[in-house]
């Protein structure tokens, strides 16, 4: 049911997506992207396109705007079987502990940036509301949080890829992550990012 109307800030909407009609062809020509309803914009490509473009997503982050082109490609062939199985246990002392005793050290990205984040947050709190200096301080704080977020995600991807390459069957414990995130260890649980790691591994 709809609730009470809320104020819509200009920062509330940072992502929108549009379906691409394949009959009109690829919206990308060289380094020029045609955004329906917006116009043509120049972009910097991170990789070459593969397959047929089905959807366009525009998302804004602290360090700029990104265009994500969702493409349909043929299903890749599966990797060769290894015949190995493993059980995975996530924790706070070691990020991953395997059933064979192997451990992966925990990430410390938030702890490394904690002091800088605290200073940036204090600087933001001292700024006057709706001032340009406050907007600049908010942007500097968002960049620091984005660095921690990307470092954590990169660590999760590399850890999951290493497990998938070595094992055919991976069993993961069923954790109540939401319940643990509300406990006294909530800061450490959020820093570990178990839910994101589980999703990448799956």
In tens, the pLDDT along 139-169 reads 999 999 999 999 999 999 999 999 999 999 9
Distance CA 87, CA 99 (A): 5
Give the pLDDT confidence of 98-122 residue by residue, as tens digits: 999 999 998 888 888 999 999 999 9
Distance CA 106, CA 155 (A): 10
Q: How many CB atoms lie within 10 A of CB 96?
A: 21
For the chain, give the percent of residues with pLDDT over 90.
56
Given a cut of 80, whether residue 73 has pLDDT beyond it is: yes
164 in Cβ contact with 201 (< 8 Å): yes
Distance CA 22, CA 140 (A): 40
Given a cut of 80, whether residue 11 has pLDDT beyond it is: no
**Average pLDDT along the chain:** 90
Distance CA 78, CA 81 (A): 9
pLDDT at 174: 83
What pLDDT band is residue 38 in, cutting at 50, 70 and 90?
confident
- Which of 114, 98, 105 shows the shortest CA–CA distance to 167? 98
Residue that wins the pLDDT comparison between 80 and 178: 80
pLDDT at 131: 94
Two structure tokens written together for 88 = 């995975």
pLDDT at 67: 93
Given a cut of 90, whether residue 47 has pLDDT beyond it is: no
pLDDT at 147: 94
Two structure tokens written together for 40 = 């043509």
Q: Taking residues 163-192, what's their average pLDDT?
A: 86
| pTM of the predicted model as reported, rounded to 2 decimal places | 0.83
- Measure Cα distances from 96 to 53, 111, 156 in Å: 37, 18, 10
Task: Report the Cα–Cα distance between both ends of the chain, in Å, rounded.
Answer: 33
pLDDT at 69: 93
**SS3 per-residue string spanning 160-195:** HHHHHHHCCEEEECCCCHHHHHCCCCHHHHHHHCHH
130 in Cβ contact with 118 (< 8 Å): no
Type and span of the H or E element at 65: strand 64-72
pLDDT at 111: 85
Two structure tokens written together for 3 = 């609730």
């Amino acid at each position: 049911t709809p609730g009470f109307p809320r104020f819509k800030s200009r920062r509330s909407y940072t992502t929108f997506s549009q379906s691409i009609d394949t009959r009109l062809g690829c919206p990308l020509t060289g380094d020029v992207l045609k955004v329906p309803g917006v116009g043509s914009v120049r972009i910097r490509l991170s990789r070459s396109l593969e397959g047929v473009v089905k959807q366009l997503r525009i998302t804004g982050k602290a360090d700029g705007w990104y265009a994500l082109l969702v493409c349909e490609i043929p299903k890749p062939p599966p990797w060769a079987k290894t015949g190995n199985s493993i059980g995975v246990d996530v924790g706070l002392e070691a990020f991953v502990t395997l059933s064979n005793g192997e451990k992966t050290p925990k990430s410390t990205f938030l702890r490394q940036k904690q002091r800088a984040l605290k200073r940036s947050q204090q600087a933001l709190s001292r700024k006057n509301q709706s001032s340009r200096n406050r907007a600049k301080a908010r942007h500097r704080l968002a960049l620091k949080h984005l660095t921690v977020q990307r470092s954590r995600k990169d660590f999760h991807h590399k850890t999951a890829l290493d497990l998938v390459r070595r094992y055919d069957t991976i069993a993961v414990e069923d954790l109540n992550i939401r319940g643990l995130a509300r406990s006294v260890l909530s800061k450490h649980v959020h820093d570990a990012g178990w839910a994101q790691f589980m999703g990448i591994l799956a």
